[in-house]
Amino acid sequence: MREDMKSVIADTFSEMLEKEDIDKITVTKLIAECHISRQTFYYHFKDIMDVLEWTFRRATQELVQRSLNEEDRLGALTAYVAFVRKNKGKFERLLYSRRWVQIEGMLVEAVTVYLAEMARSKVPELDLSVDDLEVMLTFYASGMVGVLLQYMGKPNLNEQKLVIQMEKIITGKIFPGNHN
């Protein structure tokens, strides 16, 4: 029951975020929407930002699982594109939040987990030091998140083409020094 209430609060918060900026969502408004007491809220969360972080971590963990369950890279990348598209309004509302850096970090972390798993399973003989692997994964994950956020605002975006382009970059098929 406790975890259910935490999910109810998080889901309600997520619905509210569809309609208003995070700075306008208060504990008072959230508990009124959830029909719960202030005590119940504080039993589960410290503040609104704690709700945001928990909600976002849950969503990105589900995204990582979904991407890892896909049959191929294109399917996994499509899952990330769909996630950003589905949450585009929320991202736009959060962009100027004081927590944006943390939110972007969680997105990068989710992509990093996917890329690390992909590297382990698809290229087990990858001969990189732990430090080099970490930098490489962060580089690709940060770039992928940046591209997703940048391109999702484009009105006539061909998502499938973007997915194919990102897959080519990740696999090294598109690279300035590669003329294949």
pLDDT in tens, 114-158: 888 877 776 667 778 889 889 989 999 999 989 988 888 888 889
What's the domain count of the chain?
1
* CATH code of the domain covering residue 103: 1.10.357
- Highest average pLDDT, of 4-8, 57-61, 85-89, comes from 4-8
Q: Is residue 80 part of a domain?
A: yes
Residue 160 pLDDT grade (very low, low, confident, very high; cuts 50, 70, 90): very high
CA proximity to 76, closest of 124, 120, 110: 110
Report residue 146 as tokens. Answer: 């940046």
Answer yes or no: is pLDDT of 178 > 60.
no
d(CA 92, CA 150): 11
Residue 105, domain member (yes or no)? yes
Cα–Cα dist 169/111, whole Å: 14
At 158 the three-state DSSP class reads coil
Domain membership of residue 89 as a residue range = 49-170
- Rounded CA-CA distance 77/43 in Å is 37
In a domain, 57, yes or no: yes
In a domain, residue 32? The reply is no
Q: Are 13 and 55 in contact, with CB atoms under 8 Å apart?
A: yes
Task: Tell me if 53 is assigned to some domain.
Answer: yes
